[in-house]
Structures are given as C-alpha cells and as structure tokens.
C-alpha cells in the first residue's frame, strides 16, 4: 500500500464513523466514505464513474431477485398469520424448554437456509416472521433481533449457496464437495446459537403475565384454548413446495423465492377469505408496499457498500493487510489465523460477494503454499465474512434486521455481542479441527 493509500484509508474510516455518528443513513455513510477515499486516491471524475455505475451493476442481476422475493414471501406469510400460528404452537410445545422460541427461530433460520442462498434474504424474511412473535413472548428486542441477524448468516453456509459455488469456481475445487463442506459448519453454528439461548439468553426473557396465566391455566387443565394447527399445516405445505420443488429440479434456488411468494400469497387468500375481497386487497397492497420499501432499504445499503468496496480495491487494502501479516514470518497456523481474522473488519463494511472476489485470489495461494486444504479455507473465509456481517458498528445483516423491524441498529448490535463470541468459538473449533469441515466432502464423489 502506498502512503497515499494508507492516509486515504485512515480518512475513510474516520469519515465513515463520523457519518454514522451524526445520523447519516447507513447507505449514505458507506457510499459517502467510499467516495471521499476515491476522490483522494484518484479524482472526482473517477468517483463519479463509480457512483454512476454502482447503482445499476449492484441491482441488475437475476441472482439478486431472491432478496425481494423472500422478503415478499415473509410479508405475505405474516399477513396470512402463519408466523403467529406457528409461534403460538411452538410456544405451547416448547414452553418448558428455556428459550424455546429462540431455539425455534434458529431452527427456522437453518431450515430457511436450505432454501435461500442469501444471508440478507434470510435475515430480512425471518426478522419479519419471528421478531414480533418473540417480542410478544417477552424476549427483549436486542435478543430477538440479534438471533435473527446472526442465524440469518446460515443462509450462505448451508447449501444451496451461490457463494460457495463461486468460491469453488475461483479455487478450482469440486462444487459438490464445496457445498457438502458447508453443511456441518452450518449445523454446528446453528447448534451453538441454540445452546446459547437455552443456557444464557433465556435468562433475559420476561414472560408476560397473560402468558404466565395461560401457562398456569394449562397446568391446571383449565380453559385451554385450541391451538391454530392450520398455521403449522400451512408452513409445512409452504416448505414442501419450496424445498420439494427445488430438490426435485422443478426450479432453481433463485426461482424458489418467487414460487414461495406465490404460495404464501395463496395462504394469505385462504386465511383471509372470510374477510372479503376488499380486506384481501388491503393486505396484498400492504405486503407489497412493505416489501418494496424493505427491498429499497436493503439494496441501497448494498450499493453504498459496493462503492466502499471500490475504494478498498483501489487502495489495495486487502493486499496491504496480507503483506503486513506475512512479513511477520509467524508459524503457518498463526499467519493463517491472523489473515482470516482480518476478514472480519472487511466483512463489516463490504458487500460479502465483493470481499470474496477481492480476497480469495490473495489468500488462496498463501494457504496452498502452507499446505492448507482449499475447501477448508473456503468454509472459514465464508464463516468469517458472515461474522463480519453482524459485527458492530457496521454489520450489514444487523442493519437489515433493524430496518425490517423498526428497531435501532444499536439494539441489534447489543444483542449480537455475546453471539459474536459464540461464533468465534465455533470458528476456532473449525480452524483447529479441519476434519469437521472435510469429513462430509470426502464422502462426495469428485
């Protein structure tokens, strides 16, 4: 990195923090900081070119249609009262289990990840579906939102995942093995989040009195309201359509989101059919406008982050970090660990696909020279980038959950802090025991 680039990077970091501090919307803060850096390193014309191009290139992509479609599916499902019904059932079934609803949310995120190839899509959808229900059951906002933000990151780890496919192509690895490699780490992460909620997180839950009464009633066998089982049936049908259609080859994972949205719309009509056509139209319109504004909010953040990414590439920040770390001449394991940890700050501010494109060509040759497995490296890169997506002060998944639920980002970040620790533990285990990552791929034909 040139001295100019070092100065520019420092300025960009300061500008970003200052912009966030004075309540400039996150998307503008990210993009603005990137533009300042580009003007410093190149010129205003260069920055204008990036600003003119990024809004188009970061949205005009078929694979990104998955984000608005899953958001829309979530909006329909909420208005079809599916979430409400399922959580009512979950609440009854798991009420003896500490943090039962949180566990159910993580399981739902993991299940949803088997459909969605996008962390942001998973987080936005699940935020809409589960945060409100957890709040009703006495979960503090920080815990409820953080769970969704963190468990949303499972979206790219558990296949399908275009992210893992892209890594496999860049690293010349078998795609089948790469996808298989994501399964165990994804499930391990999910299990770790659940363990956290059951053992620690559940202490924050303050069950509302009405619910306590209901539980007491249930215990004495009095006035037990019948459960809305149809919600559960519908969620099973929804998942059967989306997962079944995808794994049987009727549609791709990107397309599954739109199919899911149509199925959820059908559920909405079914649930509200007695309220009349007018009521259905009101819900339809509401769901669409909500989906529209959430989509715009999410993509504007992605555009801002893409502009900042452009600066990081021009300043050669990833190269500089790598050079600095390798210059220390530490043992291979330590060097690799340091390089991977450096992905967290990059994951905080950059759009995750661009970090992959920027860092893989730098990290892979180093890892291969040290004799590390490329598939193992890929899983760790993905895991650390995903951790970066929920790291304060600028984790993109947290902003998405905040934007979707109307909570403040700080609230989400506050809840994320302990889960961040959980993630680091999981990552350390994966780092020290590559067999956990590589066992499943070894069973897949090459």
Partner 1 sequence: MTDSTLDRVVRPVDRGVRTIAGVLAVLAALAIVVLMLAICADVVVRTATGASLPGMVELAESSLVVAVYLAIAWGLVRGEHVVVTLLTDRLGHRASHVLAIVAGIVVVVLLAWATVATFERAAEATRVGEERFGLVRWPLWPLRWAIVVGFAVTLVVALVQLVDAVRGRLPHREEVQRDA
Partner 2 sequence: SSGGGGSAAGDDAIELTLATSAIAGTPNAAAQDWFLDAVEEATDGSVTFDRTAPESICTAAEIVECLRDGRADVGVTIPDYTPQYFPTVSVVGIPFVGQNSAAITASLYDLHTQDEQAVALMERNGLHYVSAWPVGRLLLGTDAPVESIADLQGISARASGPVVQQVLSDAGMSITAVTASESYEAVERGVIDGVGGAIDFAVNYRIMELLPYWTDPGIGQYSTFGMWFSADAWERLSAEQQEAVTAVEEEFNEGAAVEAFNDQAATQCDAMLEATTVDDLTAWSEDATEEWIDQVGDSAREAWTTVAADFGLEDPDSLLDAYEASLDEHAELEYVDATSSCVEAFATR
**Residue ranges that bind Na ion, judged by CB under 5 A:** 113, 117, 155, 158, 161
Beta carbon of residue 72, minimum distance to partner 1 (angstroms, whole number): 6
Does residue 138 belong to the site contacting partner 1 (CB under 8 A)? no
Q: Is 403 a residue that touches partner 1 (CB under 8 A)?
A: yes
Residue closer to partner 1 (CB basis): 255 or 373: 255
Q: Cβ of 268: how many Cβ atoms within 10 Å?
A: 23
Of 109, 149, 300, 377, the residue at the interface with partner 1 (CB under 8 A) is 300
Q: Kindly report the three-state secondary structure assignment for every residue of 339-354.
A: HHHCHHHHHHHCCHHH
Q: Residue 163: which of 389, 318, 432 has the closest Cα?
A: 389
Quote the CA–CA distance of 437 and 181 in Å, as a whole number: 5
Please measure the distance between the N-terminal and C-terminal CA atoms of the chain and give it in whole angstroms.
40
CA distance 156 to 186: 9
Binder among 56, 247, 370, 439 for partner 1 (CB under 8 A): 56
* CA atoms of 19 and 308, how far apart (whole Å): 14
Cβ atoms of 31 and 304 within 8 Å: the answer is yes
CA distances from 367 to 326, 336, 388 (A): 11, 7, 21
Cα(326)–Cα(306) distance, rounded to whole angstroms?
Answer: 27
307-366 binders of partner 2 (CB under 8 A): 310, 313-314, 354, 357-358, 361-362
Which is closer to partner 1, CB of 61 or CB of 442? 61
Q: Tell me how far apart the alpha carbons of residues 337 and 359 are, in angstroms, rounded to a whole number.
A: 15
Interaction between residue 49 and partner 2 (CB under 8 A): yes
Q: Give the interface segment with partner 1, choosing from 2-10, 48-56, 370-378, 379-387 (CB under 8 A).
A: 48-56
Residues that bind partner 1 in the complex, under the rule CB under 8 A? 19-28, 31-32, 35, 48-49, 51-53, 55-56, 59-62, 64-65, 68-69, 72, 78, 83-84, 128, 132-133, 250-251, 255, 257-259, 261-262, 285-286, 288-293, 295-297, 299-301, 393, 399, 402-403, 406, 408-410
Residues that bind partner 2 in the complex, under the rule CB under 8 A? 2, 42, 45-46, 49-50, 52-53, 57, 62-63, 160, 162, 165-166, 168-170, 172, 174-176, 179, 246-254, 310, 313-314, 354, 357-358, 361-362, 445-446
């Amino acid at each position: 990195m040139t001295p100019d680039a070092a100065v520019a990077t420092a300025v960009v970091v300061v500008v970003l923090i200052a912009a966030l501090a004075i309540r400039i919307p996150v998307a503008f803060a990210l993009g603005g900081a990137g533009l300042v850096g580009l003007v410093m390193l190149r010129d205003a014309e260069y920055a204008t070119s990036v600003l003119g191009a990024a809004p188009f290139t970061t949205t005009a992509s078929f694979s990104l249609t998955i984000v608005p479609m899953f958001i829309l599916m979530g909006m329909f499902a909420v208005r079809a009262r599916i979430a409400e019904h399922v959580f009512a059932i979950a609440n009854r079934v798991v009420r003896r289990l500490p943090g039962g609803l949180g566990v159910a949310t993580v399981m739902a995120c993991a299940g949803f990840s088997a459909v969605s190839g996008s962390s942001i899509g998973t987080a936005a959808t699940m935020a809409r579906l589960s945060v409100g229900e957890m709040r009703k059951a006495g979960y503090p906002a920080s815990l409820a939102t953080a769970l969704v933000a963190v468990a949303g990151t499972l979206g790219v780890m558990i296949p399908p995942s275009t992210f893992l496919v892209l890594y496999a192509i860049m690293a010349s690895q078998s795609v089948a093995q790469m996808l298989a490699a994501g399964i165990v780490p994804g499930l391990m992460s999910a299990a770790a989040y659940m363990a956290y909620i059951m053992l620690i997180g559940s202490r924050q839950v303050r069950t509302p009195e009405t619910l306590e009464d209901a539980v007491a009633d249930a215990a004495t066998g009095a006035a037990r309201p019948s459960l809305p089982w149809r919600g559960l049936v519908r969620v099973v049908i929804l998942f059967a359509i989306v997962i079944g259609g995808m794994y049987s080859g009727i549609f791709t994972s990107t397309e599954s989101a739109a199919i899911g949205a149509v199925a959820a719309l059908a559920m909405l009509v079914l649930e509200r059919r007695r309220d009349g056509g007018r009521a259905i139209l009101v819900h339809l319109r509401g769901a669409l406008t909500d989906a529209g504004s959430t989509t715009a909010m999410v993509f504007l953040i992605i555009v801002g982050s893409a502009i900042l990414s452009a600066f990081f590439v021009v300043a050669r920040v990833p190269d500089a970090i790598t050079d600095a770390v390798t210059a220390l001449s530490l043992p291979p394991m330590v060097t690799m660990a340091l390089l991977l940890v450096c992905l967290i700050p990059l994951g905080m501010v950059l759009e995750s696909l661009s970090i992959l494109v920027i860092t893989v060509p730098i990290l892979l040759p180093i890892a291969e020279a040290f004799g590390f497995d490329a598939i193992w490296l890929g899983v760790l890169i993905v895991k650390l980038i995903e951790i970066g997506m929920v790291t304060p002060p600028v984790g993109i998944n947290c902003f998405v959950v905040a934007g979707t639920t109307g909570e403040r980002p700080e609230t989400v970040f506050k809840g994320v802090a302990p889960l961040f620790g959980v993630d680091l533990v999981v990552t350390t285990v994966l780092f020290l025991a590559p067999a956990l990552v590589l066992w499943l791929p070894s069973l897949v034909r090459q």
